[in-house]
Amino acid sequence: MKNRSPLAAGLLACISLGLAPLATAQDIEPRTYSNAPIGVNFLIAGYAHTRGALQFDTALELTDAHLKTSNAVVAYARVFELAGSAATIDVIAPYTWLSGTALYQGDPVERTVNGFANPALRLCWNFYGAPAMQLGEFRNWKQDVVIGASLRVSAPWSQYDASRLVNIGTNRWTFKPEVGISKSTGTWTLELSAAATLFTVNDDFFGGNRREQDPIYSTQAHVIHAFAGGSWLSIDATYFAGGRTTFNGVLKADLQQNWRAGATFAMPIDRHNSIKLYLSSGLADRTGNSFDLVGIAWQHRWGGGL
Domains in the chain: ranges and CATH: 4-302 (2.40.128.130)
At 22-43, the pLDDT tens digits run 445 567 889 999 899 999 999 9
pLDDT at 166: 83
Cα torsion 169, 170, 172, 173: sign: negative
Cα 291 to chain centroid, rounded:
15
Higher pLDDT, 234 or 287: 234
Beta bridge partners of 145: 183
Higher pLDDT, 23 or 117: 117
At 74-104, the pLDDT tens digits run 999 999 999 999 999 999 999 999 998 888 8
Measured distance CA(212)–CA(57) in Å, rounded: 10
pLDDT at 91: 94
pLDDT at 306: 84
Measured distance CA(26)–CA(22) in Å, rounded: 9
Residue 181 in contact with residue 144, Cβ under 8 Å? Answer: no
Nearest partner of 165 among 88, 116, 111, 239, judged by Cα: 111
Residue 54 in contact with residue 289, Cβ under 8 Å? Answer: yes
Nearest partner of 172 among 195, 203, 145, judged by Cα: 203
> Confidence band (pLDDT; 50, 70, 90) for 21?
very low
Nearest partner of 160 among 113, 201, 197, 199, judged by Cα: 113
Instruction: Give SS3 for 171.
Output: coil
* Whole-prediction pTM: 0.90
Measured distance CA(191)–CA(96) in Å, rounded: 30
Higher pLDDT, 284 or 126: 126
Higher pLDDT, 21 or 146: 146
CA 203-205-209 angle, 5° bins: 65
pLDDT at 26: 63
Measured distance CA(217)–CA(63) in Å, rounded: 24
At 153-199, the pLDDT tens digits run 999 999 999 998 888 888 999 999 999 999 999 999 999 999 999 99
Q: What is the DSSP letter of 269?
A: S
pLDDT > 90 in the chain, percent: 68
Please determine, for residue 147, whether its predicted confidence score (pLDDT) is greater than 80.
yes
Instruction: Give SS3 for 253.
Output: coil
